[in-house]
Chain A
Amino acid sequence: MIRRGVQAIARLGHPGALPGASCVLPRLDLASAFASSTDNLISRFCLQKTDLKDYALPNASWCPDMLSLYQEFLEKTKSGGWIKLPSFKSNRDHIQGLKLPSGLAVTSDKGDWRIFTRCIPAEGQGYEYVIFFHPSEKKSVCLFQPGPYLEGAPGFAHGGSLAAIMDETFSKTAYLAGEGLFTLSLSIRFKNLIPLGSLAVLNVEVEKIEDQKLYMSCVTQSRDQQIVYAKSSGVFLQLQLEEESLQ
């Protein structure tokens, strides 16, 4: 991992040549943090630090479909402009050094915060997912495998768990595509149930950005696209994060 990071720094001169599995880029200096370009957002989001656990990596619970599609996308990260997003235990780990604008920032001494979609850490029991992002086309693909602790109707994933993965994929896409921060609305039309332990593929696209809002659409379907599980749309509010004051 560290060796790959060093090689990535060496290749920095090539705009399209982002490194493969780990999205490791050098931290830009603080002055550039206010720029809202996608490259800046991505570099702060995907940390160079390697001691944080990345939950978006294959493990023994991943079904064969998920593993093989993951490999396909991993190949695309080497040449096709895709990036695999790391997934840490808390959103705070993704945006170290930044905070919500004053007025919205919540101060609390509670330390054990965890992002909802990583709330069930036992492998394969809850959310298994990984998101690939395409910066220039402003679109994402999320591979999602629901575990038995996400059950709704017997044998199938709870509608709420799919809503959460949609919101999460919209959230990361909105942030990297244009500093979208809060969900304004979420509209979901459920078509078919997702069997527990199977792979659902979410394709998210940014439709437009206007009036400080990002509009996105999502289609969730089986790998072969024969079954559509749900269609949804989301609107996010653009809001710049602020630098945490150095004391």
Chain B
Amino acid sequence: MLRSCAARLRTLGAVPGPARRSFSSEKATQKDYSLPNPSWTKDIRLLYDQFMKKCEDGSWKRLPSYKYTKFVEEQTPKAQIFTRSLEEGLGFEYVMFHNEAEKRVVCVFQGGPHLQGNHGYVHGGAIATMIDITAGTCAVLTGGYAMTANLNINFRRPIPLCSVVVINSQIDKIEGRKYFISCDIRSVDEKTLYSEATSLFIKLDPNKA
């Protein structure tokens, strides 16, 4: 499977590697969605400010987030990155911070009313999506373009809609092209554990046919 995907990406001109990811400066003209906007509650703003302070000494970096991937020249018409496809405040409001030395990515996430599952709680699938992209970002920043192979999530407590949570992801181990990443989702004060997850990402090998 991954071979055919790699082949397709090569055909389209996308070579995996840090230089061609969506975080590069080519995106300067696109809107960066990982910045405060009117829909952000005070909880997420507070966390954002705290992390921005940590960025000052260079150990942490805020990751920009765009709507369109520019990996490839021919893009699927009208395609948008999934988590940026909803209107401000209604869907996924999030910002990620990366600590390169510790191989960690922290995502501060506020789930809006259009992510509903049961009344008043965030849909399990939306939570799975956030875990997938946070852990995935961790993998990609460490080793280049990677794809999700396995995702195992334990939901401990439901996450109320419009609340703010902190998703911590870190690389547990690397075996060749396999990245084992674990993730947990906690409340802002860290007292409530909402979910725990383990995942496996496979780094694409550009040389395999």
Contact = CB atoms under 8 A, between A and B. Distances in A.
Interface of A: 90-92, 99-100, 104-108, 110, 112-117, 119-120, 125-126, 148-156, 158-161, 163-168, 171, 181-193, 196
B118 A91 contact: yes
Given A120-B86, A183-B124, 12 more contacts: A106-B120, A112-B113, A115-B117, A126-B85, A148-B80, A153-B147, A154-B72, A158-B83, A167-B123, A167-B125, A193-B5, A193-B147
Given A91-B116, A152-B82, A154-B69, A183 B76 contact: no
A192 B1 contact: yes
Contacts of A104: 158
7 contacts: A149-B80, A154-B71, A160-B82, A161-B125, A168-B123, A182-B158, A185-B152
Contact of B116 (A116, A150, A190): A116
Contact of B147 (A117, A154, A187, A190): A190
A113 B125 contact: no
Nearest to A239: B118
A186 B119 contact: no
State the 7 A-B residue pairs at the shortest beta-carbon distance, nearest first: A164-B125, A160-B129, A106-B120, A116-B123, A163-B128, A183-B124, A149-B85
Contacts of A151: 69, 76, 79-82
Contact of B82 (A113, A158, A171, A181): A158
B121 interface: yes
Interface stretch (B6-14, B23-31, B53-61, B177-185): B6-14
Contacts of B82: 149-152, 158, 160-161
Nearest to A124: B78
B125 A160 contact: yes
Interface of B: 1, 4-5, 8-9, 12, 14, 69, 71-72, 75-83, 85-86, 90-91, 113-126, 128-130, 132-133, 136, 147-155, 158, 160-162
Given A108-B120, A167-B125, A189 B150 contact: yes
A154 B9 contact: yes
Contacts, number: 183
Contacts of B71: 154
Given A151-B79, A152-B82, A164-B123, A186 B117 contact: no
Contacts of B153: 185-187
Contacts of B113: 110, 112-114
A105 B151 contact: no
Nearest to A115: B116
Contact of B118 (A152, A159, A182, A191): A182
A222 B109 CA distance: 33
Contact of A106 (B12, B72, B125, B160): B160
Contacts of A185: 152-155
A190 B128 contact: no
B177 to A, nearest CB: 15
Contacts of A165: 125
A153 B118 contact: no
Given A148-B79, A154-B69, A186 B151 contact: yes
A119 B91 contact: yes
Contacts of B154: 184-185
A209 to B, nearest CB: 18
Nearest to A110: B113
B91 to A, nearest CB: 6
A167 B128 CA distance: 9
Given A104-B158, A114-B116, A168-B125, A188 B85 contact: no
Nearest to B14: A154
B76 A164 contact: no
A186 B79 contact: no
Given A155-B76, A164-B123, A188-B150, A183 B155 contact: yes
